[in-house]
Structure 1
C-alpha cells in the first residue's frame, strides 16, 4: 500500500456525508489522505466546494453506475469507501419500492469495486436499526432481521449482498443520527433542531411515548468511521464486521423532547404524549428497535456519548 491513501465518500452531500468530509479534511495532513465524494445532482452546493476545496466531487448515478469510470480514471482505486447514500425516508421507500431497492442495495458500487485487480478496498456501509422487527429491547447483531417496512427490507438485502460479494467490509447499523447542521445546510428536518424550534415557540406538540430508539451523535458516527479507516490503513487486515451503532440511551420520542426541553429550560407541559397507533404515517414503523452496542464498545474500544451530552453540543452549535 502506497503512502498516500484515498478515501471516497458515496453520498457526500448528505447529512452524514458532509460531516465525514469536514472531519476527514481536517485530519488530512496527519494521514496524507486524498478525498473524493459522489453526488447525485448536477453540481454539489457551492458552499461545500468552497469550504472543502481539496475534496474532489464526482457525479454518480447509483442505479446505473454511470460516473464510476470517471472516478477510476481521475482518482483511482480508493483505499476506503464509505457508503452513506440511501433513500432513507421510510414513506418514500414505501411509495416507490423499486427505486428504494435499486438505490439502497449498492450493486453498482460493489461491481465497480470488483473491477479492480486487487481487492484491497475497505467498504464501510451504513445500514439501519430498522432491519429489526421492533418487538423487544436491545437487539444484538446476531438477532433475526425481520423488517416491517420497505426501507428496512432494502437495507437487509443490501447487507446480504455486501456479505456475499465483498471480502473486506464493515456494516454499521445506525440508529437516528442527530447533531449540528452541515456546512451546506441539508433540507431534511434534523431531530434536535426541530424539537428545539417547536418547543422554543411555545407550541404544544405531539410526541410518541411508545416508540424507542438509541439516537447517536453524528460526530460519534464520524469517529467510528475514522477509527475503522485508520485501522485498515495501519494494519491492512481485512475485516468482515457487522456492528450496531447507537447511543447508550434507549429513548422514546417523548424522552428525547424532554431532554431538549431540560437543556433549554422549556416548559415540558408542551410535550403531549401520544401513541404511535393514533397517527397514520403511511408506513409501518417498528416500536422498539433499541440496540445493544456492547460489540461496538468491545471491538473498537469506543463508547458513544449520552443523548443529553449530544443535545448540549448540538444546541451550542446553533448559538455560537
Structure 2
C-alpha cells in the first residue's frame, strides 16, 4: 500500500501539536507521510526534534504563499486537517479583517481545488461560538446566529467549505482542554490556568451563568483520526457536520470546582459572579452547550467526562 499523505494546517498550535504527536505514534503501524504548516519561522525546535519525520512548511493562509512548496515536496495530500485560526474572540473583535482573512480558508481550498487527482478529505475545525447561546444543547441543524466576530468568521468559513468542497467534515469544537503540548503554546490553557490560580489560595471570580461542553483534546484527536482512517480505508466521500464537545454542560464555576476538587483546594476560593458583570471587550454567548448525539452515533466515539479529563490533565502536568 502506498503511503498516505496527511497535512496538518496550523501544526504548531495546541490541537495541531497533539495531532502531530498522535499521528507520529501510529506511524509504525500505519504508513503515513506527515506534514504540517506553521506561520512563524522557524518552527519550534522542540517540536521538530520530537517529530523528526514530519515535514514543516511555512505558509501564510491569508495569501496562500508557501502552499506551492507543499505541492512540490508532498504532492496532493489525502487528508488536510485545518486547525489554523485566529481564535481569541477579543482579537477577532479588534481586527475583523484579519479574522475573516485567516479563518475563512479561501487560499487553502483554492489550492486543494488545483489538484486533478482523487479528492482530498478536508477536516475543518469550527467552533461552538457559531450558536447564539440562548438555550442548552444545540444540535447541528439549529440556526447559527453568532454574537461576535469570531463566531461570524467561523460561520462564513463553514459556508465557504460547503460551497467549494465536495469531501469534508466540519467539526464544531467546544473549549479544548488537556495536557500541555510538546512545545508549550503561548496561550493560557484553561485547566492549567485554574490550577495555578487556585493554588495561590486567593479568592477568584468565575461565571455561574455561562455554559459550555469542554472537550478533552485527546477525544478530539480520536475524532479526527477516526475520520482520517475511515476515508483512507473506504474512500467514500463525506459531507459531515458534527458538534464535538464533551458530555457535560458546565458553567465556569463548575469547571473551576472540578479542578479544586481534584487538587483538594478550598472551594470557598471560587466566587460565583454573573458574566454580565464583566466587560471583556467582546460579547460572549451565554449557553452554547451542544448535543453530541450525532457524533456518538456516526463515529461510535463517546468523549470522556469533564471530571475525568481534568484528572488526566492534572496527572499529566504532575508527571511532566
Query: Which residue of 2 is the match for residue 167 of structure 1?
Result: 166
Query: Which residue of 2 is the match for residue 52 of structure 1?
Result: 51
Q: Secondary structure at the match of 2:70?
A: helix
The question of whether the paired residues in 2 share the 8 Å contact of 1:11 and 1:40 is answered with yes
Q: TM-score, normalised to structure 2's length?
A: 0.99
CA deviation after TM superposition for structure 1 residue 118, in Å:
2.2
Q: TM-score, normalised to structure 1's length?
A: 0.99
The question of whether the paired residues in 2 share the 8 Å contact of 1:149 and 1:284 is answered with yes
Query: Which residue of 1 is the match for residue 284 of structure 2?
Result: 285
Aligned pair 1:305/2:301, yes or no?
Answer: no
The question of whether the paired residues in 2 share the 8 Å contact of 1:212 and 1:289 is answered with yes
Q: Secondary structure at the match of 2:28?
A: helix
CA deviation after TM superposition for structure 1 residue 120, in Å:
1.6
Query: Which residue of 2 is the match for residue 10 of structure 1?
Result: 9
Q: Secondary structure at the match of 1:29?
A: coil
Which sections of structure 1, spanning at least 5 residues, go unmatched? none
Query: Which residue of 2 is the match for residue 249 of structure 1?
Result: 248
Q: Deviations over 1:226-284 (max 9, x none)?
A: 00000000000001000000000000000000010011100010001010111000000
Counterparts of 1:140-289 in structure 2, within 5 Å, are: 140-289=139-288
Q: Secondary structure at the match of 2:272?
A: strand
Q: Deviations over 1:294-315 (max 9, x none)?
A: 0000000000000000000000
- Structure 2: how far apart are the matches of 1:41 and 1:266? 39
- Structure 1: how far apart are the matches of 2:29 and 2:119? 22
Query: Which residue of 2 is the match for residue 72 of structure 1?
Result: 71
- Structure 2: how far apart are the matches of 1:48 and 1:174? 24
Query: Which residue of 2 is the match for residue 102 of structure 1?
Result: 101
- Structure 1: how far apart are the matches of 2:290 and 2:118? 32
CA deviation after TM superposition for structure 1 residue 119, in Å:
4.3
TM-align CA RMSD: 0.6
CA deviation after TM superposition for structure 1 residue 3, in Å:
2.1
- Structure 2: how far apart are the matches of 1:21 and 1:31? 14
Query: Which residue of 1 is the match for residue 26 of structure 2?
Result: 27
- Structure 2: how far apart are the matches of 1:214 and 1:97? 26
Q: Deviations over 1:120-171 (max 9, x none)?
A: 2000000000000000000000000000000000000000000110000000
The question of whether the paired residues in 2 share the 8 Å contact of 1:113 and 1:119 is answered with no
Aligned pair 1:123/2:122, yes or no?
Answer: yes
Runs of 4+ in 1 over 4 A off after TM superposition: none
Query: Which residue of 1 is the match for residue 91 of structure 2?
Result: 92
- Structure 2: how far apart are the matches of 1:203 and 1:161? 46
Aligned pair 1:139/2:147, yes or no?
Answer: no
